[in-house]
Homo-oligomer: A and B are copies of this chain.
Amino acid sequence: MFKAATIKDIAKELGFSASTVSRALLDSHEVSIETRKKVKDYAKKINYYSNPAARSLKNSRSYSIGVMVADVANSFFSQTINGIESVAYEKGYHVIITQSHDLYEREAINIEHLANSSVDGLLISMSAGTTDYSHITKLHERGLPIVFFDRIIDDIKTFKVTTDNFKAAFDATVLLIKKGYERIAFIANAPQLSITSDRVNGYKAALEANSLPFEESLVKYCFAGGRILDEVTDAIDGLLGLPDKPQALFIASDQLSKASIRALSKLSHHNDLAIIGFSNSDVIDLISPHISYIKQNAFSIGEIAMQMLIKLMESKYPIYNFETKLVDAEIYWNDNFDL
């Protein structure tokens, strides 16, 4: 079995002590330039890499961070992960990804698991099924650096980054109104999520700004967030069964968009409806019915989240003034509902 080179091997070969070699590799000023060069050259020659376990044990840092998302198969999250990884990688951090599948239990277990594997920090997008945050507050109080992204929560004071959901929903609604649609229904995600209330509020504000009435009956919350097709089908059936049918549909998430389209594609007269929905799918433009969509800057959100976490982890002193960054989304309008 292969045995990796250690600092001792270098020390023995070059006639230095292990401490000098260690310092040389860390570029300490207590080692002469020539010695540093000698050590580094030889280290490279014999393909030396510091043993991460030993380094972790000594420094009580693991140089790995944990990421909690609902599902990697979700385009938004996989794009976010790409952003996270690009920053993490260049800063020398490993990324351990876990999925909640929007279930509270999975979230709690996985986060516990991550914390006990001594990750140096956590990047969390809350599961839709979570209403009790104690498993996270516990870790936060212990001093574990945590950054929330996408689905953020108010209860914990730390860095957060998400789409400017209010603005995105506001703009999209205004766009629908400008195009002449005044009765706009809203298919919402689980109500406990930050992204849900922000988006609903943006929608409400847009209606108000255009002196249109807000009708409770036009808003349908989907607690499973599109995971259960029936929930979405029922919501749409309910809307289309209304005496005064809506002219347009605002769909508040990627999962919901897919589910709604699937539900609508089985109906005959879906072409009457103007549809705009959140989606980061790379094939959204190929799907019919052809919808307008709001695309989040997922990659940027990932990058920013990771940068925030690094700031938190590497800060020598405790940080008290936290920032919640809002990233703009992009709206793509499609007039043509038939392909």
- For this complex, 24 residue pairs linking A to B, each with C-beta atoms less than 8 Å apart, are A1-B143, A4-B118, A49-B116, A51-B57, A51-B118, A52-B56, A52-B116, A52-B118, A53-B54, A53-B62, A53-B118, A57-B57, A72-B82, A73-B75, A85-B98, A85-B99, A94-B96, A97-B97, A258-B282, A262-B285, A265-B286, A287-B288, A288-B288, A288-B339
Q: Does A142 contact B (CB under 8 A)?
A: yes
A82 to B78, CA, bound (A): 13
B79–A73 CB distance below 8 A: yes
B81–A339 CB distance below 8 A: no
Which residues on the B side are within 8 Å of A2 (C-beta)?
142-144
Q: Does A307 contact B (CB under 8 A)?
A: no
B73–A78 CB distance below 8 A: yes
Known: A283-B287, A286-B288, A287-B286. A94 touches B73 (CB 8 A): no
For window 91-118 of A, CB contacts with B under 8 Å fall at 94-99, 113, 116-118
A339 to B2, CA, bound (A): 58
A78 to B78, CA, bound (A): 9
Name the residue on B nearest A281 (C-beta).
Answer: B283
A261, A286, A339 — most chain B CB neighbours (10 Å): A286
Task: Quickly give the copy total for this chain.
Answer: 2
CB distance from A197 to the nearest CB of B (A): 27
A interface residues (Cβ-Cβ under 8 A, vs B): 1-2, 4, 49, 51-54, 56-57, 60, 62, 64, 71-73, 75, 78-79, 81-82, 85, 89, 94-99, 113, 116-118, 142-144, 258, 261-262, 265, 281-283, 285-288, 339
A220 to B332, CA, bound (A): 33
Which residues on the B side are within 8 Å of A52 (C-beta)?
56, 62, 116-118
A53, A142, A287 — most chain B CB neighbours (10 Å): A53
Which residues on the B side are within 8 Å of A75 (C-beta)?
73
B265–A339 CB distance below 8 A: yes
Name the residue on B nearest A287 (C-beta).
Answer: B286
A265 to B284, CA, bound (A): 13
Name the residue on B nearest A1 (C-beta).
Answer: B143
Name the residue on B nearest A285 (C-beta).
Answer: B262
CB distance from A86 to the nearest CB of B (A): 10
Which residues on the B side are within 8 Å of A116 (C-beta)?
49, 52
CB distance from A125 to the nearest CB of B (A): 15
Which residues on the B side are within 8 Å of A51 (C-beta)?
57, 118
Which residues on the B side are within 8 Å of A144 (C-beta)?
2
A99–B82 CB distance below 8 A: yes
A49 to B117, CA, bound (A): 9
CB distance from A135 to the nearest CB of B (A): 13
